[in-house]
Structures are given as structure tokens and as C-alpha cells.
Structure 1
Amino acid sequence: MKGSLTKLAGGRLPDENQGMASEQTSTVPGQHPHEPHDTKVGQRLNWLRAGVLGANDGIVSTAGVVIGVAAATPGNLVAIVTAGLAALVAGAFSMAGGEYVSVSTQRDTERALIAKETRELAEQPQEELRELAGFYEQRGLTEDLALQVAEQLTARDALAAHAEVELGIDPEEFTSPWAAALSSFVSFTVGALIPLLMILLPVGEHRVWVAAVGVVVGLFLTGWISAALGRSPKRPAILRNVTMGVATMLATYVIGLLFGVAVS
């Protein structure tokens, strides 16, 4: 027990609880140097993944619109550009607005939970200490060690200890709705430009095929990047991305053909 407490005082927990310590700090002695242990790194990766998903949405949705219009009105660049730009602008603002609203709601909830936890710590500190110790017991520590861990973490920063274990929240780093909105707006716009620019290339009757190839390449990249960021297998992610994109383009192309025949 004494050896375990000595490790704790130095910033490390016993081996069976090493994972919990890695969430607290990125400078713990003995941890793997190339593994991201800082919780802020995880949040940055989440924003990057959200950006990749936004780009993916921009590629697929805009490709569906421009290919459908190109199939319905082949050679009518004005109609294709108008539809493509409308899809880009509407989609980018929709994505940004949706992210802003959802993340604002999340941030408000986080702040309310932190305020509640702050009141409980001020009004009933002993009950909160026992509650914190109970969480560590559930993670596998003995009753005595769990209580000592809770006492030391409470002495250092009671609110941070409770917020992390009970709520999974960093009280000093709330999510930013403006950052989420801007990330989604930019990523969607960048993704949407791929099919829009590709279908405007001066390749005559082959413009739809050229745009489709550009879309497949873009979806391949977003699938690869999202899998790399999530450290997951790349082949299934790429296959899902490309399959859904191709299905979307086929569906809108057929609809465009049918609509064009009906109009003519």
C-alpha cells in the first residue's frame, strides 16, 4: 500500500489503473512517448474528424446535385453552375448552423453540470469525497486505496477530479460552438468544390464521368483520413465512403435523365 501511495504522489497510479493516470497528464514518467495522453489531444482529433466528415458531406451532396442537373440538361453550364453553387452555399450554412446549435446546447449542458457539481462540493464535501472514492472502487481499486486517491485528487483540484470521473468533462475547456461552426462551414465548402470544379472542366460530353472520378478520389481521401485519425482499419472506411458516394451519383444521374426526358 505504501509503495502504491508513493507512486501516486509522484504522479503515477498502480499498474492496474495506469490508463486512468494517462488521462490526467501528458508528462507522466514511463508512458509511451508517441501515444496521445492529453485529453486536449483527443478533443482536437474530434474536431479533425468532424472536419473530415463535413468535407465528405460536401463532396457527396454537391456531386449528387451537379450530376443530376448535368444529366437533365447536358451542356447547360449556367444551370449546372447555379445548382452547384446553391447546393454549396445552402449545405455549408446548414452544416455550420447545425453544428453551432448542437454544440451550444452541449456547452450549456456542460456548464449546468459543472455548476451543479460546484454547489455539491461546497455544500456536502464529505459526501462528494465518498462518492469519488466509490467511482475508483468501481474501477478496481481497494476501498482504502480508493479513498486515499480521492483525498489526494480532491486536495489538488476537487472540481476537476469529480468532473472527469463523474461527467467526463474538462471544466477548463468547454466545447466552442463557433469553432465547430467554422470547421463545418470550411470543410463542407472545400469538399463541395471538388465535384463543382470537376464538372466544369472543358471535357465536353465526358464531364459527368470526369466529375465522378474526382468524387471517387475525394471520397477515397476522406475515408482514408477519417480512418487514420480514428486509428481504425482503412479499407472498410474507404469502401463505405466510395460506395455511398457512387450510389448517390447513380441515383441522381438516373433522376436527371428521367427528368430531362420528361421535360423534352
Structure 2
Amino acid sequence: MAKRHHEKHSIEKINWLRASVLGANDGIVSTSCLVLGVASAHATHASILLTGVAGLVAGAMSMATGEYVSVHSQVDIEQAALAEEQAELDQDYHGEQRELTAIYMRRGLDFELAGEVAVKLMEHDALAAHARDELGINHLNMARPLQAAVVSAGSFSCGAILPLAVVVISPEAHLLWLVSVAALVFLAMLGALAARMGSAKMLPGAIRVTFWSALAMAVTAGVGALFGTLV
């Protein structure tokens, strides 16, 4: 018996990869910016650490809540579209079959073959066929709110812990530079890893993340320093 061939593509990872990369990146950038802003305002080491911890907790909860609400809204839209499609199938099954046939013809099949494919797929699972080929909903891109929320909160926390660890071990006199450099190194590694997992080029991914994160940290540190001199 021939061995069954299974193909795995990077597109299958897109849902959890997007949430985890966004969460970790935001955790590092947000926490680093908070720490740098407060440190630039000449706060004590204890105040800087407390600010970072508070940012970690608040950020993780915010990421989880925002992601859950956002993805759940997508679920609601998908469910409404599927319900509407099922109603159309109940009312005019053959009309929906012709619609599916037309879709396959636009993709390059001739009329006879497109009709046969539409008939067979609808006999197997009419709603699934229309969901996939008419609505663009399939198992690869189905929204999963709880999974997205957990991944976002967890990855944000993992990212935020990194600059916090640097704050803990850094002497106060060198905290600004150590946190800045460490955060940018972490972010470059994250950008490269994300690109690698998505089968893209690693260097552009690392440069893109590092540049915009460095800009965000510089602006935050500048604002902190400005307010530190005014207060």
C-alpha cells in the first residue's frame, strides 16, 4: 500500500502565528517603552520595576480582551453568513448549485466538469462547499476567539518579562542603555523567528521590527526626559 502523503504549509499556522507574534512584540515594546519613559524621568529603581509589572498585567489583559472581542465579532459575522447561506440552500437548492457551478467555471473548469464537481460536493456537504468556495470560510481561517485571546495574553506576558528581567539585574546608572539594547536584540530575534516560521526572509523581518520599535522607544524616552525636567 502506498504511503499516504501529507503536506504542511506555513499558511496553516497563520492564525496562532499572527496572534503570538503580535503579542510578544507588543509585550517587549510596550514594557520597554514604559520602563524607558519612567527611567528617563529619573524615577527610582523600585518605581521603574513596579511600572513594568503593572504594564505587563494590564497589557496582557488588554490583549486578551481585545483579541477575544475582535475575533468573536468575526465569528458572529461568519455564523450569520453561514445561516444566510443555509437559508438560501433550503429555498433554492438547484439555484445554489448553478451558482457553485459558475464559480468553478470562473476558475477554469468547463461547464460539464464544473457542474459535476458542484453536484458531488453539494451531495457530500452543500453548506461546507458554499462556505469554502463562495464565502471563503474554511478550517484554515475559521476564527477561534478563546485560542486567540489565550495566545495573545500568553505571548504578551512572555515578551514583557524579557525587559523586566533586564530591569531586575541592571544597575540603575546603566538601566536605560541596557534595557534599550536588550529590547532591540529581543525584537530583532523575534522578527527573524516570525519570518522563519512564515517561510519568509529573516533579515527584512528583523530590520522592520527593530526599526519601528527603536523609534517608539526613542519617542517615549524623550517624552519621559522632558517631563522629568519639568516636574
Alignment: residue pair count: 229
- CA positional deviation for 1:233: 2.0
Bigger RCO of structures 1 and 2 (CA < 8 A, at least 6 apart): 2
Aligned to 2:191: 223
Residue 229 of structure 1 deviates from its aligned partner by 2.7
1:45 correspondence with 2:30 = no
Identical counterparts, % of pairs? 42
The residue number in structure 2 matching 1:58 is: 27
Partner letter of residue 168 of structure 2? L
- Distance in 2 of aligned mates of 1:148 and 1:127: 15
Unaligned runs of 5+ in 1: 1-27
Task: Verify: 1:195 aligned to 2:168, yes or no.
Answer: no
Distance 2:12 2:74 in 1: 14
Q: Does structure 2 conserve the Cα–Cα contact (< 8 Å) formed by 1:73 and 1:79?
A: no
Choose the corresponding residue for 1:140, options 90, 103, 108.
108
Aligned mates of 2:182, 2:170 — CA distance in 1? 14
Contact 1:45 1:229 in 2 (8 A): no
1:69 alignment partner, one of 34, 38, 42? 38
- SS of the residue corresponding to residue 175 of structure 1 reads coil
| Alignment counterpart, residue 143 of structure 2, candidates 167, 175, 185 | 175
1:133 Cα deviation from its structure 2 partner? 0.4
Q: Identify the residue that residue 129 of structure 2 maps to in structure 1.
A: 161
Q: Which residue of 2 aligns with 1:10?
A: none
Q: Kindly state the Cα deviation for residue 49 of structure 1 after the two structures are TM-superposed.
A: 2.3
Q: Tell me by how many angstroms 1:44 deviates.
A: 3.8
Q: TM-score, normalised by structure 2?
A: 0.91
Report the CA distance between 1:208 and its aligned residue. 1.5
User: Conserved in 2, the CA contact under 8 Å of 1:52 and 1:225?
Assistant: no
Unaligned runs of 5+ in 2: none
Correspondence for 2:53: 85
**Deviation per residue, 1:121-160 (Å, 9 max, x gap):** 1221100000000000110111111111111111111111
**C-alpha RMSD of matched pairs (Å):** 2.1
CA deviation map 1:81-136 (0-9, x unaligned): 12112221221111111111111111111111111111211221100000000000
Residue in 2 that maps onto 1:6: none
Task: Give me the whole-angstrom Cα distance separating, in 2, the residues matched to 1:149 and 1:135.
Answer: 11
The one-letter amino acid paired with 2:69 is V
String of CA shifts for 1:169-211, please: whole Å, max 9, x gaps. Answer: 1379952211111111111111111112212214341122111
Kept after mapping to 2: 8 A contact 1:118/1:159: yes
Contact residue 12 and residue 140 of structure 2 kept, 8 A: no
Indicate the SS of the match to 1:200: helix
One-letter amino acid of the counterpart of residue 224, structure 1: A
Structure 1 residue 59, shift from structure 2 partner: 0.6
Q: CA deviation at 1:34?
A: 4.7
Cα distance between partner residues in 2 of 1:49 and 1:253: 28
The CA distance in 2 between the partners of 1:174 and 1:257, in whole Å, is: 46
